[in-house]
Amino acid sequence: MRCADGPGVRGEVHVRADVRRVWGLVTDIGLPARFSPELQRVAWLDGADRPVVGARFEGYNRHERLGEWRTVSHVVELDEPRVFAWAVTDADGRYGEPAPDPARPMATWRWELEAENGGTLLRQSALIGPGRSGITLALERWPDREEEILAFRSKELRAGMEATLQGIKVLAEDGS
C-alpha cells in the first residue's frame, strides 16, 4: 500500500432494521463519538443542524500518540437514504498551512445503505488524503517506512470503524 494509491479502509455490517431507521442513526454526526476510540465529540457549524451538502461540522479527536486536534468536515454528498459523505479538512493548520478546502481533504468518510434481506446492508469507508495529515508527517520523517505506516494507520481506522458499525447495529436492532 502506498499513499499514491489513495489508501482507504472499508467495513460493512448487516443490520436487522429498516433503512430509514439506520439512516437516522448514521446521519447523527455525534453518534460515532460514542463508539470511536479517536473521535471525542462533534458539533455543527454555521447554524447547521442536519446534513445538507455544503454544511460543516467540527470534530474533536484524541490519540495517545498524536495528542488532541480539531478538524472541520464538509458534507460533500447526500442521497437520502442511501449515501452520506463528508470531507475532513485541516482548517487549523495542524499539519502545515491551514487547508480548509474540501477538494483536498485529509480524508473522506462515507456511509452507504442498501436494503437487504429485510434489513440494511450498512457500509462505511474512509479514503485517506490527498491533503496533509498525521500520515504525511510520519512519512516525511520515515519515508522508507511508508507501507508500515499506512498499514498501522489503516488497522487503527478499521478498528474504530468496526466499533462504530457494531454500535450502530446494536442501536438500530434494539430500537433505542
pLDDT (tens digit per residue) in 143-157: 899 889 899 999 999
**What residue type is 91 in one-letter code?**
A
Q: Where are the domains of the chain?
A: 3-174
**Residue 110 dihedral angles phi and psi, to the nearest 5°:** -150, 135
3-174 is a CATH 3.30.530.20 domain: yes
pLDDT score for 160: 94
Mean pLDDT over 30-35 rounds to 94
pLDDT of residue 135: 86
Collapsed DSSP state (helix, strand, coil) of residue 67? strand
Q: Write the CB contacts of 5 (distance below 8 Å, at least 6 apart in sequence).
A: none
Alpha carbon distance, N-terminus to C-terminus of the chain: 40
